[in-house]
Amino acid sequence: MSIGFEIITRDGAARAGRLATAHGTIATPCFMPIGTAGTVKAMTPDGVAASGARLILGNTYHLMLRPGAERVAALGGLHKFMNWPHAVLTDSGGFQVMSLAALRTISEDGVAFRSHIDGSRHVLTPERSIEIQRLLGSDITMSFDECTPFPAERSAVEASMELSMRWAERSRRTFIERDGHGIFGIVQGGAHADLRERSARRLVKIGFDGYAIGGLAIGEGQATTFAMTEATVPFLPADRPRYLMGVGKPGDLVGGVKRGVDMFDCVLPTRSGRTAQAFTRDGTLNLRNARHADDPAPLDPECRCPACTGFSRAYLHHLVKAGEILAAMLLTAHNLTYYADLMAAMREAIMAGRLAEFETPQ
């Protein structure tokens, strides 16, 4: 078998379920912390697990450049290399090639580019992307795609989508079936509902273990993100997991779940933790602000994270102002815990049939 996905109950379009992989079962809907280069920034693996996460995201582009997929494989695979016993999903590298790589050239074969690290030349094809993800030991492999920039002319979006669909066929053929491992196809089509439908239908015909909605959260705005999600979900199999890539803010997660999405990832909680921002049940806090300097209260009295159970806002403000590394560590742990608890609360609401009443966080 590949990965397993079981829907326990539904509440409107939302689903509560279980995603079974070679490295454990994940309750859905779920949020994946970003571990791009084999680490969730400012966190230990135990700390990530303590937040509630059981699935993290790694990235083909970054890991192929440093330390190299073959090296990771020789050292026992990504799970052992980074001491993470739970599940890993790896992005295909397509987005990073678009956003980071210099002097890239896209062809039918794949993408030739120069590394953003040292300028060295590389070629990433669907076959090589899938091979790298296999060498890493990914539980969930993503098909290789081109993430079309936003905005773009419809003709360019359509051509890009069609190329991604041809690459998806090659990715699927290259993927080697193993117990507990699966491959997801990625829907493209920009902000055009008909292109999204066409892309989704093509991917379903190819046949994947799960389906991602890609090419969003790149500047189009929440209303468009939700509209394209609504335009895509009806054409995806009801019995397979759905993944909205690169999303997002707490309100984005709630809106995505209400529209039938099961999986999310975003740099926001970890990046915010490194820039003195904390998500709480009463809104987002900026720990640089002087109003926290004499505040003995915790960030969030209902939170179970190390920052909230052991330290005051005043101390966290002091760490931020002093430039101490511990500030980033504690605030990142808090934000990941907040996100995990938000997803758990939504799962409970779905199970109770109360998701419609669920308040969108500030």
Residue 291 CB partners (closer than 8 Å, separation 6+): none
Interval 282-325: pLDDT, tens: 999 999 999 999 999 999 999 999 999 999 999 999 999 999 99
Is 256 in the same domain as 282?
no
The answer to whether residues 308 and 172 belong to one domain is: no
Shared domain for 292 and 178, answered yes or no, is no
Q: What is the mean pLDDT of residues 191-220?
A: 97
pLDDT band at 1 (very low <50, low <70, confident <90, very high): low
Question: What angle, 0 to 180 degrees and rounded to 10, lies between the N-to-C axes of helices 154-174 and 126-136?
Answer: 50
Give the CATH number, domain containing residue 229. Answer: 3.20.20.105
Domain contains 360: no
Provide the 3-class DSSP secondary structure of residue 168: helix
Please choose, from the candidates 76, 30, 84, 38, the residue with its C-alpha nearest in 3D space to the C-alpha of residue 58: 38
Higher pLDDT, 362 or 228: 228
As for how many domains the chain has, the answer is 2
Q: Is residue 196 part of a domain?
A: yes
Q: With respect to residue 361, please indicate whether it lies within any of the assigned structural domains.
A: no
> Residue 147: what pLDDT?
86
Mean pLDDT of the chain: 96
Domain-terminating residue out of 243, 266, 289 = 266
Residue 195 belongs to some domain of the structure: yes
Q: Residue 241 pLDDT > 90, yes or no?
A: yes
Give me the pLDDT at residue 46, please.
98
Q: Residue 278's closest CA among 329, 209, 239, 353?
A: 329
Q: State the pTM of this model.
A: 0.97
The tokens describing 65, both together, are 């450049």
Local structure of residue 143 (DSSP, 8 states): -
Q: Which of 266, 281, 310 is the last residue of a domain?
A: 266
At 96, the pLDDT band (50, 70, 90 cuts) reads confident
- Residue 102 has a CB neighbour count (10 Å cut-off) of 9
The residues carrying an active-site annotation are: 91, 265
Full residue range of the structural domain in which residue 315 is found: 268-355
**pLDDT confidence of residue 100:** 66
pLDDT, average across residues 236-248: 97
Q: From CA 323, how far away is CA 148, in angstroms rounded?
A: 38
Last residue of a domain, one of 234, 266, 298: 266
pLDDT tens profile 25-43: 999 999 999 999 999 999 9
Is there a single domain that holds both residue 300 and residue 249? no
The sign of the CA dihedral 28, 257, 211, 246 is: negative
Bridge partners for 11 per DSSP: 14
